[in-house]
Amino acid sequence: MTTREGDDEPLWDVLEEHLDEAEFLWESWEQSLVAPNYTLEEVAAGVESRLLAHLDGLVIGGAAAAERLLVPALESDESARVSAAAAALLLGAGDSALGTLFAVLQDLPEQRPALVRAFACVDHPGLLARLRAGLADVDEALVASCAEALVFRHEPLGEALSVLLASDDPTVRSLGLRALPGEGEGSVRAIQAALGDEEPLVVDAAIAAGLVLAPAPTWTRVRARAEEPGGGSALVLWRCATRPAIVRRCRRRSVMRRGGLPPSTRSATWARRSWSTRASSGSTTRRAGR
């Protein structure tokens, strides 16, 4: 209940508590995604379901709650609060939500990582079109933000992919590489070039894409990367390569990724959608530790 009986005035103390709890649970959810003691099913049934309940409470608050609580929260210094507020706006029925969110995305660069998290997780009828339109912007950082949300959703980037791969920013180049498994021709050449990049972040992203699209040259680079500073993830891969059962399992998953999972499976929970990208990448969004 978010309004007093017989009164249209919202119960502001209740709505404020919903927002505070949503902020706390969003941060807990981010942490649980990379925690070794949770499965994705446990995340979905636990902290994620509680988070969604509080977001629903904010949505019920309607336009009044959006104007008084959610829109101001988009300028918060707390990224989890920004993400929770953006998610509630997207889940609401208001037609102005996308305009408000993309105005913040454009005008407040420091809020972009938190907004991307909400864009990656919440479905809205006009969201994909707005994200694709953002790929044509002249601001490379804005293009990268829109691209990252689309990559989370396993959506193709089209012509914007070449812009990302040619960027001087290694974080943006790595984002382009993460998009390659969902793209078409030219992916293998881009991976082979990136395997020789001077930036470890780019090499690691190339390895992740290469194990799906170009395993043979990639395994050679994995072995060398395992011996370099910061090559811990490559070392784990190389150790796994000595165990045939693990390799067969990885190959089966690679085939599934190349063919594309059915949407009902791929986005059954926010946890599955987010972990599949975050667990193996140098995301441009902030990663929460546990």
Q: Is the pLDDT of residue 250 over 80?
A: no
CA separation for the pair 11, 24 (Å, rounded) = 20
Answer yes or no: are the C-beta atoms of 115 and 82 closer than 8 Å.
yes
Q: Is the pLDDT of residue 55 over 90?
A: yes
Q: Please give the mean pLDDT across all residues of the chain.
A: 82
Q: What is the per-residue pLDDT across 164-213, written as a single tens digit (0 to 9) for each?
A: 999 999 999 999 999 998 776 568 888 989 999 999 999 989 988 888 88
For the chain, the domains span 1-121, 126-257+273-282
pLDDT score, position 216: 80
pLDDT score, position 97: 93
pLDDT score, position 286: 36
What mean pLDDT do residues 132-151 have? 96
pLDDT score, position 19: 98
Q: What is the per-residue pLDDT across 226-242, written as a single tens digit (0 to 9) for each?
A: 778 877 676 666 555 55
What mean pLDDT do residues 47-67 have? 95
Instruction: Give the residue from 157, 142, 97, 161 showing the smallest Cα distance to 123.
Output: 97
pLDDT more than 90, % of the chain: 58
What is the sign, positive or negative, of the torsion defined by CA atoms of 79, 81, 83, 85? negative
pLDDT score, position 279: 44
Q: Is the pLDDT of residue 264 over 50?
A: no
pLDDT score, position 262: 33
What mean pLDDT do residues 156-167 have? 93
Instruction: Give the residue from 159, 167, 168, 164 showing the smallest Cα distance to 177.
Output: 164
SS3 per-residue string spanning the chain: CCECCCCCCECHHHHHHHHHHHHHHHHHHHHHHCCCCCCHHHHHHHHHHHHHHHHHHHHHCHHHHHHHHHHHHCCCCCHHHHHHHHHHHHHCCCCCHHHHHHHHHHHCHHHHHHHHHHHHHCCCCCHHHHHHHHCCCCCHHHHHHHHHHHHHCCCCCCCHHHHHHCCCCHHHHHHHHHHHHHCCCCHHHHHHHHCCCCCHHHHHHHHHHHHHHCHHHHHHHHHHHHCCCCCHHHHHHHHHHCCHHHHHHHHHHHHHHHHCCCHHHHCCCHHHHHHHHHCCCCCCCCCCCC
pLDDT score, position 228: 81
What mean pLDDT do residues 134-160 have? 95
pLDDT score, position 217: 79
pLDDT score, position 168: 95
pLDDT score, position 239: 56
Q: Is the pLDDT of residue 146 over 90?
A: yes
Q: Who has greater pLDDT, 290 or 34?
A: 34
Answer yes or no: are the C-beta atoms of 33 and 271 closer than 8 Å.
yes
